[in-house]
Amino acid sequence: MTCAICRRAQKDGFRDIRCKGIETVPECPTNEVPKLMAENEPFWFVFQRMLPGLFDGYGGVNFAAIIQVLDLYGVPAGQRPIVHDGCLTVIGAIRELQEQNKK
């Protein structure tokens, strides 16, 4: 679920809540959209730019996409291990969800 889908459901009358999006409230009233902590916003910005090239058509991970985006956005050398670890964490969570969905 995303805020855009939820807002559309509100507009169409399928939801009784009134929420303009997760960025406007302390917590999602439906508990469907997690709140991004402020310290994770720079990582999420960079990670979103990696997503189009991160996964290949066979379910594998293209780790070169991480390096390309870090280079493109000029992420400083001292921050790269932190961003890389964040990427591995998110990739691991995606893999867990994929495994759960197979069952």
- pLDDT tens sequence across 14-68: 998 888 888 888 889 998 888 888 888 889 899 999 999 998 888 789 989 999 9
pLDDT for res 1:
63
Count CB neighbours of 33 within 10 A: 19
- Residue 47 is predicted with a pLDDT of 92
Are 67 and 80 in contact by the 8 Å Cβ rule? The answer is no
Q: Please give the residue that has the higher pLDDT: either 56 or 103.
A: 56
**The pLDDT of residue 89:** 92
**Does the pTM of the predicted model rise above 0.85?**
no
Q: Provide DSSP, 59-99.
A: S-B-THHHHHHHHHTT--TTTHHHHHHHHHHHHHHHHHHHH
80, amino acid identity: R
- pLDDT at res. 80: 93
- Residue 38 is predicted with a pLDDT of 84
